[in-house]
Amino acid sequence: MSAEGPPRGAHSASGGGSAATQSQAWGDHANVPERPATAADRSVQLAALLARVALADQRAFAELYRHTSAHLYAVAVRIVRDGAVAEEILQEAFVRVWHYARTYDAAKSQPLTWLTSIVRNRCLDQRRRRELDTVSLAPVAEDDAPAWDIAAEGPTPVELLLSSAQARSVRDCVDALDAGPKQAIALAFFQGLSHAELAAHLREPLGTVKSWIRRGLERLRRCLDAAGVTG
């Protein structure tokens, strides 16, 4: 009813809960239903929301945001390392989701995978552009953006890889990787480092890093496919 300003009271409701700066990937807002028991339940729920968003249902869109924004923002912050840039990317991504939700195909990908890809691709584009703009390849130049601090204090890329793998019972697949490839893959995936940045960061020749990644991914693929898991 009020025509101006943010909604009063719990106006952070739509923002995913400002009281908690760090929360679980699935949001912590009181209005959000209990965290669904399994990844499959969550996917069903998100797919249903996306279907409604495709029909321009604003409430579903707000709910989708509440459920996924914390996860997507965390993914973005880790890659671009700048809270403001991550916010901008999150905004663009959700604007895109609103317009293109109907192109989401539940048969082809899980909803969170689809959403994460949209965010990640934007982050990577942004990062690579910035990389071209700067001569330095220093990959871990510290940034004092608070959101990045939160991400930086959290688990390392390799820890994230392991805990996610553990959660999906594919820990063996990650454990089976050698230390070098494991770290290179984790850094590339969670922080968006390029081959050149990885080489600088890991102090290894470019060729070594490239082959670590190639072999590591091949190995992961065989193991994950054998385990029969799909995202």
The closest alpha carbon to 210, from 220, 198, 221, 200, belongs to: 198
Span from 7-15, 137-145, 199-207 in contact with other proteins (CB under 8 A) = 7-15
Size of the site for other proteins (CB under 8 A): 100
24 binds other proteins (CB under 8 A): yes
Please, which residues have CB within 8 angstroms of residue 171's CB and are 6 or more apart in sequence?
Answer: 162, 165
* b/e burial code for range 52-84 (CB count within 10 A of at least 16 → b): bbbeeeeebbebbbbbbbbbbbbbbbbbbbbbe
How far apart CA 179 and CA 191 sit, in angstroms, is 17
* Residue of 128, 142, 178, 207 that binds other proteins (CB under 8 A): 128
183 binds other proteins (CB under 8 A): no
181 binds other proteins (CB under 8 A): no
* Residue of 47, 49, 50, 110 that binds other proteins (CB under 8 A): 110
Residue 133 burial (10 A CB sphere; 0-12, 13-18, 19+): exposed
Residue 115 burial (10 A CB sphere; 0-12, 13-18, 19+): buried
Nearer to other proteins, 5 or 203 (CB): 5
How far apart CA 28 and CA 39 sit, in angstroms, is 17
205 binds other proteins (CB under 8 A): no
* Residue of 77, 80, 101, 200 that binds other proteins (CB under 8 A): 77
28 binds other proteins (CB under 8 A): yes
Q: Phi then psi for 144, rounded to 5 degrees?
A: -95, 15
151 binds other proteins (CB under 8 A): yes
* Residue of 50, 75, 80, 200 that binds other proteins (CB under 8 A): 75
Window 89-108: residues binding other proteins (CB under 8 A): 90-91, 94-95, 98, 108
Cβ–Cβ under 8 Å, residues 63 and 49: yes
Span from 135-143, 183-191, 199-207 in contact with other proteins (CB under 8 A) = 183-191
43 binds other proteins (CB under 8 A): no
Span from 134-142, 162-170, 199-207 in contact with other proteins (CB under 8 A) = 162-170
